[in-house]
Amino acid sequence: MKKIFASVYPFGKYEPACLKVLKTTGYELIQSPHKRKLSPLELVDYGRDADVLIAGTENLEPYIHSNSNLKFISRVGIGLDSVPLKLCREKGIRVSYTPDAVTMAVAEMTVGLILILLRKLQLADMEIRSGAWTRYVGKRIENINIGIVGFGRIGKALTRLLSSFRPKSILVYDIKDKTPEINQYQKQYSINLRALNLHDLYRESDIISLHVPLYHKTRDMIGIEELKMMKKDICLINTARGGIIRESDLLQYLKGNQEASAAIDVFTKEPYFGDLKELSNIFLSQHMGSCSIDCRINMELQAAEEAVRFILGQKLHSEVPDEEYEYQD
């Protein structure tokens, strides 16, 4: 019997519709026995000989090398840094993902992180727990410049949400020319939105939020040199991918500059137990940008439905486009 292996966790925990959809195929459905991310060796062991993989953020390269049966990967989520696309293409494995399902959940959480840092809420929480009471004074969004690195789905959604707060300006950097979209957003939302080169964005922004994929051009995009370009009291947010900020440099910078702060949701190695957790001027979360119940249900169901379309020989709705393959070249 042919097999579908769902390596991702959770999958079907909040709503079993995705499991029901997959079972209509007649394939044997195998799920991860662990309530955590699988290691590469566990993936190889549990997913042996599967024809279809429903994947999370697991490192897939060893598994792809080990499984000659694999024909299709349906990625629950948007990031593709864990999927070796070139290797998939060489082996004739098609890949889909769920890029639209996560957009609003990540954008909403980013707004929350902006407010936490601007109003120093993470410091207030720590102080109350330790028996202190300072009542920090922060800033309002209306009085600051917000830098958005990456003007794709999530960057645009964040811009729409922030437009209601009427920031002084929203500064945008994207590797592509987004002039038409920027002009449209300026008119539609009546905001001061402008494109800058990356270094100027670093220098002018009060808040910087990262929304780019992780690939060779964005890995370690922000290190100590870039941090020193930023304002002394910069608030830096990463809900995109670990590895975009060099964590050792961020640790060094925040240790030496208590005016700066950061909110980090993603890490180079997850789960994260590193030294950033010792700092007071950083807010840490657990790769939770997509962790709203509706977002989770939609991602899982879309990934399952895409797998069914592949099995039935139907047209795929969200196959990974060629430009994503080019990022990994």
Strand partners, 173: 149
3-class secondary structure, 262: strand
Alpha-carbon span 141 to 143, nearest angstrom: 5
The residue count for the chain: 329
Which residue reads 């922060």 in tokens?
138
Cα diameter, the chain: 64
Query: Which amino acid appears at position 290 of this protein?
Result: S
- Active-site choice (75, 211, 241, 246): 241
Backbone angles phi, psi at 67, to 5 degrees: -115, 100
Which residue reads 């959604």 in tokens?
157
3-class secondary structure, 247: helix
Answer yes or no: are the C-beta atoms of 94 and 319 closer than 8 Å.
yes
Would residue 166 show up in a list of annotated catalytic residues for this protein?
A: no
Would residue 89 show up in a list of annotated catalytic residues for this protein?
A: no
Answer yes or no: are the C-beta atoms of 36 and 54 closer than 8 Å.
no
Would residue 241 show up in a list of annotated catalytic residues for this protein?
A: yes
Prior bond of 10 cis (ω within 30°): yes
Answer yes or no: are the C-beta atoms of 30 and 47 closer than 8 Å.
yes
Answer yes or no: are the C-beta atoms of 306 and 96 closer than 8 Å.
yes
- Active-site choice (225, 259, 270, 326): 270
Question: What is the Cα Rg of the chain in Å?
Answer: 21
Backbone angles phi, psi at 133, to 5 degrees: -155, 100
- Active-site choice (75, 211, 246, 287): 287
Dig out the tokens for 80 from the structure. Answer: 């593709």
Alpha helices for 119-245 (secondary structure H): 121-130, 153-163, 179-189, 198-204, 224-229
Active-site residue set:
241, 270, 287
